[in-house]
Structure 1
Amino acid sequence: MTYTPRKPSILSRIPWWLLAITLLFVLGLWGITGDTGYSQIFRALSGGIATTLWVTAVAFFAATILGLLIALARTSGNRILVELATFYVEIIRGIPVLVFLFYVAFVGAPAMVGGVNWLLQPFDTAITVRQFDFVWRAIVALTICYSAFIAEIFRAGIEAVDRGQIEAARALGFSRWKCFRLIIFPQALRTILPPLANDFVSMIKDSALVSALGVQDITQLGKVYSSGTFLFFETYNVVAFLYLTMTISLSLLVRWLERHLRQKRY
């Protein structure tokens, strides 16, 4: 008589940490919906969810495009482009995000407005610094900061592609653009996507820094509400719950993406 091992149940295959997180989420959701005070706090902060997601999505999209251009410059082989791109990456990565946020908001923005007004002199018109909304100043700052990190992700993915394939494509008469589009980028994408998605999760957390500029995101609304009601414990419980819901959901999506790409590769 042969022994047939029993197939493990679905519950036994679920990681304990995921069960614990699910339990915390259920308890948090039950607490918010079942308590009048927490429900009121949630309604007061819910308007900041759209701002947080908007700032994160726009900044991350722009940072991805800029990071790709910088990575292409670093891997171009042109000495001037390589040096300029490397200088940009090293300088930006060495400045804390909050410091750079203040720099862009209170130094870069007036300088940009001054440059625009200089260009508009022949048209006898001008704009003021107040017209440069703080939301867009925050987006510009996050874009520049994260473009340096994303550039390194793209560079690592591009350099991970076997040089023999690139040389073979060039030998067959492929242009640099065609070689990148058909040979390099599709293979590099599998290496790039997981850390790129992790950077998106990190940007959601770092977007809380824009509250220092008065942008009405989740953190800023929580700060205003708690200072007016003195319900600091309850308010920041809801703030933490909202951020955890967004970041953990995206983290689970990243894990699924990594597993899917690994299976597809092999």
Structure 2
Amino acid sequence: MHYQFDFAAVLHGDYLRAFIGGTLVTLALFAVAWLGSIVLGALLAVVRNSGVRGGAAVVAAYVEYHRNVPLVVQLLFWYFAAPSLFPAWLRDYLASHGSESPLAAVALVLCAAAYVSEDLRSGLRAIPRGQMEAGRALGMSYLLTMRTVIMPQALRISLPPLLNQALVLFKNTSLAMAVGVAELTYEAKEVDSNTYRTFEAFAVATVIYLAISFAIMFCGAALGRRFNVAEGRR
């Protein structure tokens, strides 16, 4: 007996709303984690590039931890273990407002920032040292020179690996289902459980993931072309 495909069974009513809701949660989680990882990753790269031995060692340890511990373990740590270290008022707040999404976002930000910092550090090393020296000679502080002169160039140089990190982070949001976040993979599993249409449920989720991934790549390519044009006009 051949399997009869029935995509209509998973694309109507509550099931369709579940896919839409899961997609929106995935996009929100990705946006928060990506913005947070860029900010934190830039800060880590600046500290490690500063030449301060203690700061560089701490950042190096941070990066090695997040690169060598599986992300799912980090998610489980932040959801099950870390709250025991929080103040009582914060634990109560998270318990009453739902801690799954905020703590999953924290874990994703901290992990992605480690990789972003390494990509930015490579970009920083590609910039001639003379630019930093020129900025300091003009009376600019180290942080001001980094913010206005060095880091914008490092971001442009690091754009290809940063785009790759964005794609990896987007796909890693699916791991948030391990702590109960109702993102796309979680909702696909719920639809599968209710309809017993495993192929259809996960096929729909796959198409959505592919569409968003291609959109991210398209935006990254457009951004890269814009930077190239801007560089060519100088």
TM-score (norm 1): 0.77
In structure 2, the residue matched to 1:130 is 95
Q: Are 1:176 and 2:150 an aligned pair?
A: no
- Maintained 8 Å contact 2:30/2:169: yes
Identity of aligned residues (%): 32
| Superposed counterparts of 1:68-79, under 5 Å | 68-79=42-53
In structure 1, the residue matched to 2:220 is 254
In structure 1, the residue matched to 2:180 is 214
Structure 1 residues without counterparts, runs of 5 or longer:
1-30
Q: Distance in 2 between matches of 1:110 and 1:128?
A: 13
In structure 2, the residue matched to 1:37 is 9
The partner residue of 1:95 within 45, 69, 75 is 69
In the TM superposition, what is the alpha-carbon distance from 1:126 to its structure 2 partner? Answer: 7.3
Write the deviation string for residues 76-102 of structure 1: whole angstroms up to 9, x where unpaired.
Answer: 111111111111111111111111111
In structure 1, the residue matched to 2:41 is 67
Structure 2 residues without counterparts, runs of 5 or longer:
none
SS at match of 1:127: helix
In structure 1, the residue matched to 2:198 is 232
Write the deviation string for residues 190-249 of structure 1: whole angstroms up to 9, x where unpaired.
Answer: 113332233222211110111111211111111011012110011111000111111111
The partner residue of 1:197 within 129, 142, 163 is 163
SS at match of 2:11: helix
In structure 1, the residue matched to 2:131 is 165
Of 167-176 and 46-55, the range deviating more from structure 2: 167-176
Q: Distance in 1 between matches of 2:171 and 2:160?
A: 17
Write the deviation string for residues 152-209 of structure 1: whole angstroms up to 9, x where unpaired.
Answer: 1221122221111222222232222332233212222211333223322221111011
Work out the number of aligned pairs and report it. Answer: 225
| Superposed counterparts of 1:49-68, under 5 Å | 49-68=23-42
Q: Distance in 2 between matches of 1:96 and 1:138?
A: 14
Q: Distance in 2 between matches of 1:182 and 1:109?
A: 38
Of 213-222 and 188-197, the range deviating more from structure 2: 188-197
SS at match of 1:243: helix
| Superposed counterparts of 1:132-151, under 5 Å | 133-151=99-117
Q: Distance in 1 between matches of 2:142 and 2:180?
A: 46
* Greater length-normalized contact order (CA 8 Å, ≥ 6 residues apart): 2
Of 232-241 and 174-183, the range deviating more from structure 2: 174-183
190 and 126 in structure 1: CA distance in 2 versus 1, 3 angstrom threshold: closer
